[in-house]
Amino acid sequence: MKKKFSPFFYFLVFFVLPIMAQNQKQIDSLEIAIPTIINDSAKLDAINDLCRYIVDVNPDKAIGFAKQSLAIALEKNFQYYQAVAYNNIGNGYYNLADYKTCLDYYIKGLRIQENIKNKKGILSSSGAIGNVYIGLAKYDEALKYFERALKIGKEIGNKNGVASCLISIGTIYSNKKDFKKSLDYYFKSLEIFQEVNNEDAIATNYNNIADTYLELKNYPQSLIYITKASALYEKIGNVYGQSLALNNIGDYYFAVGDADKALQFYNRGLEKGKQIVANEHIIQSFKGISRSYKKLGNYKQALVYHELFQELNDSIYNVESSNQIAEMQARFDSKKQEQEINLLTKDKKIKEDELSRQTLISRAIICVGVLLLLLVIMAVRGNNQKKLANRELGVKNEKIELAYNIIEDQHKDIIDSINYAKRIQEAILPPETVIKKSLPQSFVLYLPKDVVSGDFYWVEPWGTKILFAAVDCTGHGVPGALMSIVGYNLLAKAVNELGLSKPSLILNSLSKGIGKTLRQTGSDSEVKDGMDIALCALDLKTYMLEYAGAYNPLYIIRNGKLLETHSDKIPIGTYLEGEVKNYVNHEMQLEKGDTIYIFTDGYADQFGGEKGKKFKYKSLQQLFISIEGMPMDEQRVILEKTIIDWKGSLEQVDDILIMGVRV
C-alpha cells in the first residue's frame, strides 16, 4: 500500500482559545461589531477570534478578515498582531491545500514570534509549519518542528499545545507504519483534550485512531471511532471535519468490501469538501469514488473521477511547488544563521576589548605563537597520513558501494517479480462479485502469509450445482503460489474439459494431474509436493450437498450444533504402490439455515494468546458455533479480528483461508 499522506491526519493548529461549537449568532455578532470598534487592539482581537471561528467553515472568508487584521497591524507596527495575522492567513490557505502559500505565511509569523521572544507564538507557528510538512510527506522535517513545539508547550504549561503536538507526532509515526507508537501518542493526546473539553480536537483524535485501526485491519474498532468523530464534527458544526470523517467512513466500507456504501459516503464527503473548497478532502473523495466505481465494474465513471483526482492532485503536489517550499525553508534557515553570526560578532568584539586592557598580552601572544607553530607542524604531518589513509579507505568504499548496488538491484528485481506474481495469482482467483452471484450468503477470509500464497479458493457453477473448494498447496510464498496455479488449472480442466461434477471424481482427476505434471512415480528422490483440499458440490434445487476431502474436513452448523464430515487422510498427488487412491464421496441433505465451513489448517495452527500456543481446531469449532447466526460478512470480520488479536506481535506461521456458505 502506497505510503501516502493520509487525509485522516491533520495537525490541530494551536489557537489562543480552544475551538468549541460556535453558533452563527456569535459569528454574525462579531462581523457586525468589528466595524464599530475604535480601539485598534480590541478590533484586532475581535478579527482574530472571528478568523479562528470560521476557518474550518469558510477558509476564503477567514483569509480576507486575517488580511484586514494584518493591514492594521502593519500600519500600527504591532508585531505580535502581525504574527497572529500571518498565522491565521496560513491556516486559511492550509484548509485550501495551498501548501506553498500557507508555509510562506507561517514562516513570516515564526520570524516575528522569535524576534519578540513570544514562546506561545513560537509554539503555534512551529506546529503549523510541522503540519504543512506532514501534508507534503516530509516527516523528518515535520518531527523536528513538533518536538520543538512540544518542548515549549511543556515549559509554559499549555495543555492544548502539548496535546496537539502529541497527536501530530502520532500522525508521523502512523505514516511511517509504526502503528503501535502512533496509537500510544493518540491516546495520550485524547486524554488531555478530554480534560480541557476541546471537542474539535477530541473529534480529530477519534478520526486518527479510527484510521490507525483501519490500517491494522481492526475494522470493528475503526468503525467505532470514526462514527464518534463524525457525530462530534456534526455537533460542533465543523464542515472541514465532517468532510474528512465522511471520506474516512467511505474508506472503512471500501475496506470491508461494501463498495456501494463506500460510494455514498465519498459523495457526501465531496459535497462537504466543495462547500469550503477543502482541496485535500476533495482529492480523497475523487480517489475513493473512482476506486468504488471500479470495484462495482463501472469503469467509465471510475476513469472520470480518477482524472479529476489526478488533475487536482498534480496542481497541489507538483514538483515546482515543492521546490519553492524548499527554497522558502532555506531562506528562513539562512536568515536565522545570519542573526546568530551577528550576535557572535558582537560578543567577539567585547572580548577583544577586554583583552586589550590586559598588561600581559604581549607575552601571551608569544606563547600562543610558539604553540601554534608546533600545532601547525603536527597538523601538516597528520594531514599527510590522513590523506594516505583516506585514499585506501576510498578504494575499499568504492568496492563496498559497487557490491551494495549489485545486491540492491538484485533485491529490487526479486521483489518486482514477486509482486507481479501476486497480480497473476489474484487474477485467477474468482472475484467477490462472481462468488456473491453464485453464493449470495457466503464469505471468504483470505490472509496470505507472504506476498503470494499457497492457499487458494475456487468457485465454479455447473448446471444446477455450485462447486467450491478451499485448497492448501505444499508450502507458502513463491513455491506455494506456483503449486496453486497448477491446482487451479487442473480443477478447471476436470470440470470444464472432462465434465466432472462429483467431488470424489474431481479429486481423483486432480491427484492424477498433479502426479503427471510433477512426474511423480513413487521414488524417494522425486518431488513430493501436493495439496490438501475440501471440495463441495451444492445442488441449488434439491439442497443436496456432496463433499470429498484430502486432510481438510467439512463442518456444518445446524441449530447450534456442529456436524463434522472427516476427510480422507491422503493428500492430493501422493502415490501408494504406484496407484492413486480413490477418494470417498459423501452426500448429505441440507436444511434451511445450515451453514457450511471449509478451510485450510493455517487458522488452527496459528500461534498466539498469552502463552504463545496454537489456536487449535477445538477453538475454531466453538468460534464457528458462536457466530453461526450472524450475517456472513460480519462473520468474516469477527474471524479476522479474532485471529489478529490471537496472533498479537507473533509472526503469521501459514496462509489462512476459510470459506463460509449459508443455505
| The 3-state secondary structure of 232-269, one letter per residue | HHHHHCCHHHHHHHHHHHHHHHHHCCCHHHHHHHHHHH
Question: Is the per-residue pLDDT at 466 higher than 70?
Answer: yes
| Interval 267-326: pLDDT, tens | 999 998 888 887 888 999 999 999 999 999 998 998 899 989 888 887 765 544 455 555
Question: Is the per-residue pLDDT at 106 higher than 90?
Answer: yes
* pLDDT score, position 258: 93
Cell of 449: 502469509
Those residues whose C-beta lies under 8 Å from the C-beta of residue 53, and which sit 6 or more positions away, are 19, 22, 26, 27, 30
Nearest-angstrom CA–CA distance, 504 and 583: 5
Nearest-angstrom CA–CA distance, 231 and 245: 9
* Dihedral over Cα of 447, 452, 457, 462: its sign: positive
Region 69-84 average pLDDT = 94
Region 82-89 average pLDDT = 94
Global pTM reads: 0.42
Question: Is the per-residue pLDDT at 356 higher than 70?
Answer: no
Nearest-angstrom CA–CA distance, 661 and 663: 7
Helix axes 199-215, 219-236, angle to 10 degrees: 160
Burial bucket for residue 517 (CB in 10 Å: 0-12, 13-18, 19+):
middle
Residue 245 near residue 228, CB atoms below 8 Å = no
Detail the DSSP E strand segments found in 420-571.
442-447, 455-462, 465-473, 531-539, 544-550, 554-558, 561-565
Question: Is the per-residue pLDDT at 337 higher than 90?
Answer: no
Burial bucket for residue 603 (CB in 10 Å: 0-12, 13-18, 19+):
buried
Residue 220 corresponds to which amino acid? P
* pLDDT score, position 532: 93
| Interval 375-433: pLDDT, tens | 767 777 777 777 777 777 766 766 666 656 666 666 666 676 676 667 777 778 898 88
Tallying the residues shown for the chain, one arrives at 663
CB atoms within 10 A of CB 628: 22
User: Could you tell me which of 257, 160, 244 has the C-alpha nearest to residue 208?
Assistant: 244
